[in-house]
Structure 1
Amino acid sequence: MSKVQRITVEQLNEKMNDGKGVFILDVRNEEDYREWKIEGKQATSINVPYFHFLEEDENHFKDLPRDRDIVVVCAKGGSSEFIVDLLKERGYRGYSLQEAMLAWSQFYHPTAVAEENRMQLIQINRLSKGCLSYVIVSDGKAMIVDPNLNIDVYQEMSRQQSFSIEHVVDSHLHADHISGGPRLAQATGATYYISSSEAKGTDLAYEPLEHHREIRFGNVQVDVLAIPTPGHTPGSTSFLVNGNYLLSGDTIFVGGLGRPDLGGKAKEWAQDLYDTVFGKLNDLADDVLVLPAHYADIREMNERGIVGATLGDIRNDNEIMRTQNREVFTEYVAGAVTSEKPPNFEEIIAINRGELQVDPEKAIDLEIGPNRCAVHHHSN
């Protein structure tokens, strides 16, 4: 077997954004592919399970392009290398994704959202899960909002850009991924914030968000206003940065609203969500940029690679955001959840509450898969 060419997840992401696009051949089984795959606006993806290629049937190669690089993806890396070798024998240009979907699940990509008034706002996109976290920097000090499992990403950024992490915030108790918040705060000496209604009954060391109307840091006094926005969970909190950027957690997404059923109180939490949409957030201007903690569709990413939209656009595109009849809103939201609950969400919540400890390998296994915290996506 000849030497197989490999490509890293960083190189794959560059290919997906270089204007030429990328062709992905996923050789996992059909069920795994339907459940979770690599997606990008400039990515073409097909699924031909590995065992089909063992049949030595040339028909399995007929949909593969000869004039483009083909990135072969499997679960852990071994199968893709075998397939790349078969492709090379037939004159195709194939690359094996190094460490496969395991590596993709841990890839974090930063994009600058804003740089103004000596404040920098960066969105960290964990593309494999549609998870978004944020770094807000001002005068060498930083706040991290909704950090994900791999806290090295944020610490390495702080070293490279010479800022200290002083505040770490979780907008709510996450159900679909393991929060890096408590560990990041402990590692950096930062204060960890979360709503007490999310953390009550836990052993978490935290500062209650409801005690802080604003958190200021840096000479420019970047204001982060804590806005209780219950609905997805009772203690969900959003943050208004400098009056222009709403870090909305899982309350409002580019394509919809957070699902209210994960606590088993869909109608009750849907009513909380109504009060949030038409009370707490009603007075915010249409030009406020909403930056959520998740997304469920690659179309929610704009041409700059940022997942975000103005509040006015979200209101216009999403009929439920304009449904001011409480009863109609509640019935629609509570009844519209059709997707499965996040896999392993009970274990993940227990970890995020500090009640369950797992080793790093187990933590990665628990998280693998898409996010399922959003509902009510518009059809545009």
Structure 2
Amino acid sequence: MTLYKWIAEEVAKKVINNEELFILDVRNAEAFADWKIEGHKFEYLNIPYFELLDGVEEILSNIPTDKQLLVVCAKEGSSIMIAEMLTDEGRDAAYLEGGMKSWSEYLEPIKVSDLENGGELYQFVRLGKGCLSYMVISNGEAAIIDATRMVDVFTNFAASKHVNITNVFDTHLHADHISGGRQIAALTGATYFLPPKDAEEVVFEYTPLVDGNEVKIGNTTIAIQALYSPGHTIGSTSFIVDDKFLLTGDILFIDSIGRPDLAGLAQDWVGDLRETLYSRYRELSSELIVLPAHFMIIDELNENGTVAKRLGDLFEENHGLNMKDEGEFRSMVTDNLPPQPHAYQEIRHVNMGKITPSAEDQTEMEIGPNRCAIREFKKY
């Protein structure tokens, strides 16, 4: 039978196109339980590779013959070995090139909408990490919001669109992934913006991003308007783009809200979080389309693969926006914090410019799922 090599992009298309896939994940049980490739119609079998060294005959009955089969491991090697064993037993099998490392780093650019006067808005979906980045394009210019460290994805995409990157923004000092904002700005000559309240410890130059900042993209009326929205961090800043879209950073997600503890100040910042969600955002148009910086679960993806929803719908459906009692809100936020992101303190120091790890070390720092949200809000 045939052994196939798939790249992360091929798997991403299956997620977005809602296709069926059977995944044999040969990592250890703990790694699989913590983080896996998620798809709407994916099925899974987790058997550590070392349990299969003597052969795969005993698991063949657990692997369907009517679905494509993908074998996955951490970095590729073990999955190749097991996939070859499966083909020797008469099964077609594929392995994921680069393993979960490549899945963690892959970004899928998806068009969100056309904007006024020929502009465009794109969302870059990092399916393996839950990160969401954005590019606003207008009249030969582009702005990037919350870029990941895979800077080539953004610069190459801008080149394919024949636009110059002129502005780069981070909505806050990230703790779960390494920002590519400064590097993109250095490569392109773009202006790099960061909220000053999050930048007290940074060791590089930046342009302060403050409430009311308005940046024009191209020579059209497309504007990126900054809205101070603390709570996830003390400097967290949202953006209103083209008077239609609300980029919420890590303050508001589709199915949850941001966590306030990644600088060790949960009790201090929970009040800011409530003020942003229950006052500042309530003053905005309910017709704005929320575009967050992360998603939590695969069900938050729309049919076209984007993560987006009307603000008014979130006020009705998101449990984190519907707790009238402030004391109950504070308790729910501080009592439902998920495990902190892997190496989050080191990631914060990278984003401050204090340390510069190798590419391999940066990959290891980011391994694992998104953990920027309060995951278990309950409706009362």
Q: Same fold (TM over 0.5)?
A: yes
Tell me how far 1:368 sits from its aligned partner.
1.1
Secondary structure at the aligned position of 1:16 is classed as helix
Task: State the partner residue of 1:267.
Answer: 267
Secondary structure at the aligned position of 1:114 is classed as strand
- Report if the CA contact (8 A) 1:166-1:189 is conserved: yes
Task: State the partner residue of 2:153.
Answer: 153
Task: State the partner residue of 1:359.
Answer: 358
Alignment-mate amino acid for residue 351 of structure 1 = V
Task: State the partner residue of 1:100.
Answer: 99
Q: Which moved more, 1:316-325 or 1:68-77?
A: 316-325
CA separation in 1, counterparts of 2:227 and 2:294? 18
Instruction: Indicate how the Cα distance of structure 1 residues 52 and 373 shifts in structure 2: closer, same or farther if over 3 A, else same.
Output: same
CA separation in 2, counterparts of 1:277 and 1:374? 14
CA separation in 1, counterparts of 2:89 and 2:378? 42
1:248 is the counterpart of 2:239: no
Task: State the partner residue of 1:63.
Answer: 62
Task: State the partner residue of 1:9.
Answer: 8
Q: Which moved more, 1:327-336 or 1:247-256?
A: 327-336
Task: State the partner residue of 2:333.
Answer: 333
1:223 is the counterpart of 2:196: no
Instruction: Indicate how the Cα distance of structure 1 residues 320 and 6 shifts in structure 2: closer, same or farther if over 3 A, else same.
Output: closer
CA separation in 1, counterparts of 2:72 and 2:82? 9
1:112 is the counterpart of 2:111: yes
CA separation in 1, counterparts of 2:2 and 2:347? 40
Aligned pairs (5 A) from 1:41-80:
41-56=40-55, 58-80=57-79
1:162 is the counterpart of 2:162: yes
Q: Which moved more, 1:32-41 or 1:60-69?
A: 60-69
- Report if the CA contact (8 A) 2:16-2:304 is conserved: no
Name stretches of at least 5 consecutive residues in structure 2 with no aligned partner: none
Task: State the partner residue of 2:290.
Answer: 290
- Report if the CA contact (8 A) 1:252-1:292 is conserved: yes
Tell me how far 1:379 sits from its aligned partner.
7.2
How big is each residue's C-alpha offset from its partner over 1:78-132, in whole Å with a ceiling of 9 and x where there is no partner? 1111111211122211011111112112111011000132220100011110000
Task: State the partner residue of 2:322.
Answer: 322
Task: State the partner residue of 1:21.
Answer: 20
- Report if the CA contact (8 A) 2:144-2:165 is conserved: yes
Task: State the partner residue of 2:126.
Answer: 126
Task: State the partner residue of 1:370.
Answer: 369
Instruction: Indicate how the Cα distance of structure 1 residues 48 and 376 shifts in structure 2: closer, same or farther if over 3 A, else same.
Output: closer
Instruction: Indicate how the Cα distance of structure 1 residues 269 and 18 shifts in structure 2: closer, same or farther if over 3 A, else same.
Output: closer
Task: State the partner residue of 2:279.
Answer: 279
- Report if the CA contact (8 A) 1:66-1:91 is conserved: no
Task: State the partner residue of 2:87.
Answer: 88
Tell me how far 1:324 sits from its aligned partner.
3.4
Tell me how far 1:212 sits from its aligned partner.
4.9
Task: State the partner residue of 1:210.
Answer: 210
- Report if the CA contact (8 A) 2:215-2:224 is conserved: yes
- Report if the CA contact (8 A) 1:192-1:206 is conserved: yes
Q: CA RMSD in A?
A: 1.7
Instruction: Indicate how the Cα distance of structure 1 residues 12 and 376 shifts in structure 2: closer, same or farther if over 3 A, else same.
Output: closer
Name stretches of at least 5 consecutive residues in structure 1 with no aligned partner: none
Tell me how far 1:19 sits from its aligned partner.
4.8
CA separation in 1, counterparts of 2:127 and 2:256? 19
Task: State the partner residue of 2:29.
Answer: 30
How big is each residue's C-alpha offset from its partner over 1:119-156, in whole Å with a ceiling of 9 and x where there is no partner? 20100011110000000001111110000011000100
Instruction: Indicate how the Cα distance of structure 1 residues 19 and 309 shifts in structure 2: closer, same or farther if over 3 A, else same.
Output: closer
Alignment-mate amino acid for residue 263 of structure 2 = G
Number of matched pairs: 378
CA separation in 2, counterparts of 1:22 and 1:166? 41
Secondary structure at the aligned position of 2:177 is classed as coil
Tell me how far 1:245 sits from its aligned partner.
0.5
Task: State the partner residue of 1:348.
Answer: 347
- Report if the CA contact (8 A) 2:20-2:67 is conserved: no
Alignment-mate amino acid for residue 127 of structure 1 = L
Secondary structure at the aligned position of 1:12 is classed as helix
CA separation in 1, counterparts of 2:53 and 2:298? 33
- Report if the CA contact (8 A) 1:27-1:47 is conserved: yes
Secondary structure at the aligned position of 2:36 is classed as coil
Q: Which moved more, 1:245-254 or 1:218-227?
A: 218-227
How big is each residue's C-alpha offset from its partner over 1:280-339, in whole Å with a ceiling of 9 and x where there is no partner? 1111122211110011111111112111111122111123312233333223222221x1
